Amino acid sequence: MRSLRPLLVLLCLGWISSATGREPPAPAPKPTAKPRPDLAALSVGEGELVQLNLANFDVRDVLAFYERLSGRRLVLDSTIQGQINLVTPGKVTKAMAVALIETSLLLNGYTLVDRPDERTLVLGFAKNARGAGIPIFFRPEDLPASERVVSLVFKFRHRNPLVIQQLFQRYVTANLYTSFVADPGSRTLLVTESASTLRQLAKVVDLLDTPEAARFDVKNPPPPKREPVAPRESEASRLRGDR
């Protein structure tokens, strides 16, 4: 008897629809997915606007498109894999498209390291950029405008770099490539991070490196001085006039 209940329900529904003269509502059509753009076919001529509709795209396809946009030759790490999700509401300039892709790559764990010969190394999650010969800069104004992992040497006039290193380590969320190396003797701090983060840290250093703030350092050693060498016993006797 229980097996007949579903059949009886269907018969009743059919009788009700025929009695009212209305057909049961048709199921709503499923939304059709937008076709994925063919990145190889997109025009990237100078002055043209670019539509970035990179929803869950393979990172290698995105890098091939970035290579055409930037004009740089990419050398990919063998471990490069994954997807990139980058969609803009409208068309953007070629320079903006390059900047957006660089930022998206960095946020997703891919590191770009420029070489002087127009090559750019692309490293995956497991490769540390410090082993790829990243550039070292000595002035914040010389840092690249693009999202690159580089090193910057901070030179302090008043503060102990070990104290500043501790402050930076509390503030910066460490990535695989993040590094802080302090040398109290020369009052320098070598920091490896993204160029945008280093620019922000440079602004903080301008506020911290003051004589007033240095008074609160736990240690603020001056440059090491060489101690005088004690004279030998024979020389001391000669200076005293001993015979």
| Neighbouring residues of 153: CB distance < 8 A, sequence distance ≥ 6 | 136, 137, 138, 188, 189, 190
Taken in order of first residue, the domains within the chain and their CATH numbers are 42-126 (3.30.1370.120), 128-223 (3.30.1370.120)
CB 159 within 8 A of CB 166: no
Q: What is the pLDDT of residues 65-90, one digit of tens each?
A: 999 898 889 999 988 999 999 998 88
CB distance 114 to 135 below 8 Å: yes
Name, in order, each residue with C-beta under 8 angstroms of 177's C-beta and a sequence gap of 6 or more: 111, 128, 129, 130, 134, 149, 192, 193
d(CA 183, CA 161): 7
> What pTM was estimated for this model as a whole?
0.67
Alpha helix (H) residue ranges in 51-90? 59-70
pLDDT digits (tens, 9 = 90+) for 21-63: 555 565 655 544 445 555 554 556 566 788 888 888 999 999 9
Please choose, from the candidates 147, 201, 149, the residue with its C-alpha nearest in 3D space to the C-alpha of residue 172. Answer: 201
Q: What is the pLDDT along the chain (243 residues), one digit of tens a residue?
A: 555 555 554 445 454 445 455 555 656 555 444 455 555 545 565 667 888 888 889 999 999 999 989 888 999 998 899 999 999 888 899 899 999 999 999 988 899 988 887 789 999 888 888 888 889 999 999 999 888 899 999 999 999 999 999 999 999 988 888 999 999 999 999 999 999 999 999 999 999 999 988 888 865 444 444 445 444 454 444 445 554
Return all residues near 25 (Cβ < 8 A) that are at least 6 apart.
Answer: none
